[in-house]
Amino acid sequence: MNIKVRFLDIGTEPVVLICEEDAMKIGGKDNDRVRIDGKKPAIALLNVSDFVCSGEAIISSNLKDIVKASDGDELNIVYTSSPESVRSIRKKMDNEKLSKEEINSIVVDILENRLSKIEVSAWLTALYINGMDIDEIADFTVSMVETGDRVEFTRSPVYDFHSMGGVPGNKITPIVVSIVAAAGLMLPKTSSRAISSACGTSDFVETFCDVEMDTEKLRRISEEVGGVLAWGGAMNLAPVDDLVIKVEHPLGINPRAQMLASILSKKLAIGATHLVVDIPMGSGTKVPTIDVAKAYARDFMDLGEKLDIHVECAITYADQPVGSAIGPKLEARECIRILEGEKHPSSVIEKACDIAGMVLEMGGMNNGGEKAREILESGAAMKKFREIVAAQGGNYDIRSDDLVPGEFVAEVTSVKSGYVHTISNKDLVSIAKAAGAPSDKGAGILLFKKKGQRVEKGDVLFEIYGDNKAKTDRAKELAAKYKPYDIEGMLLKKIAAPRTR
Question: Interface with a copy of itself by CB under 8 A: which residues?
Answer: 8-12, 15, 17, 24-25, 27, 29-32, 47-49, 51-52, 58, 61, 82, 86, 89-90, 93, 95, 116-122, 124-126, 128-130, 195, 246-247, 249-253, 433, 436, 439
User: Least separation, in Å, of the C-beta of 433 and a copy of itself?
Assistant: 7
How many other C-beta atoms are found inside a 10 Å radius of the C-beta of residue 156? Answer: 8
Query: Residue 111: which H helix or E strand, with range?
Result: helix 100-111
User: Least separation, in Å, of the C-beta of 102 and a copy of itself?
Assistant: 16
User: Least separation, in Å, of the C-beta of 71 and a copy of itself?
Assistant: 15
Closest to a copy of itself by CB, 233 vs 405, is 233
Closest to a copy of itself by CB, 50 vs 152, is 50
DSSP 8-state symbol, 319 = S
**Residue 383, phi then psi, degrees to nearest 5:** -65, -45
DSSP states of 258-289: HHHHHHHHHHHHTT-SEEEEEEEE-TTSS--S
Q: Distance (Å, rounded) from C-alpha 156 to C-alpha 429?
A: 38
Closest to a copy of itself by CB, 10 vs 460, is 10
Closest to a copy of itself by CB, 47 vs 414, is 47
Closest to a copy of itself by CB, 123 vs 161, is 123
Closest to a copy of itself by CB, 52 vs 221, is 52
Q: Distance (Å, rounded) from C-alpha 327 to C-alpha 248?
A: 23
Q: Taking the mean position of all CA atoms in its chain, how far away is CA 25?
A: 45
Q: Distance (Å, rounded) from C-alpha 349 to C-alpha 50?
A: 61
How many angstroms separate the first and last alpha carbons of the chain?
93
Q: Distance (Å, rounded) from C-alpha 337 to C-alpha 345?
A: 10
How many other C-beta atoms are found inside a 10 Å radius of the C-beta of residue 254? Answer: 21
203 Cβ neighbours under 8 A, 6+ residues apart: 193, 194, 328, 437, 438
User: Least separation, in Å, of the C-beta of 446 and a copy of itself?
Assistant: 20
User: Least separation, in Å, of the C-beta of 173 and a copy of itself?
Assistant: 22
Radius of gyration of the chain (CA): 26
Closest to a copy of itself by CB, 201 vs 316, is 201
Asked if 328 contacts 174 with a C-beta cutoff of 8 angstroms, the reply is no
User: Least separation, in Å, of the C-beta of 160 and a copy of itself?
Assistant: 26
User: Least separation, in Å, of the C-beta of 474 and a copy of itself?
Assistant: 10
Closest to a copy of itself by CB, 195 vs 404, is 195
Q: Which amino acid is at 230?
A: A
User: Least separation, in Å, of the C-beta of 313 and a copy of itself?
Assistant: 25
Q: Distance (Å, rounded) from C-alpha 420 to C-alpha 152?
A: 49
Q: Distance (Å, rounded) from C-alpha 320 to C-alpha 307?
A: 34
Closest to a copy of itself by CB, 202 vs 222, is 202
Q: Which amino acid is at 16?
A: V
User: Least separation, in Å, of the C-beta of 408 and a copy of itself?
Assistant: 17
Omega prior to 328 cis, within 30 of 0: no
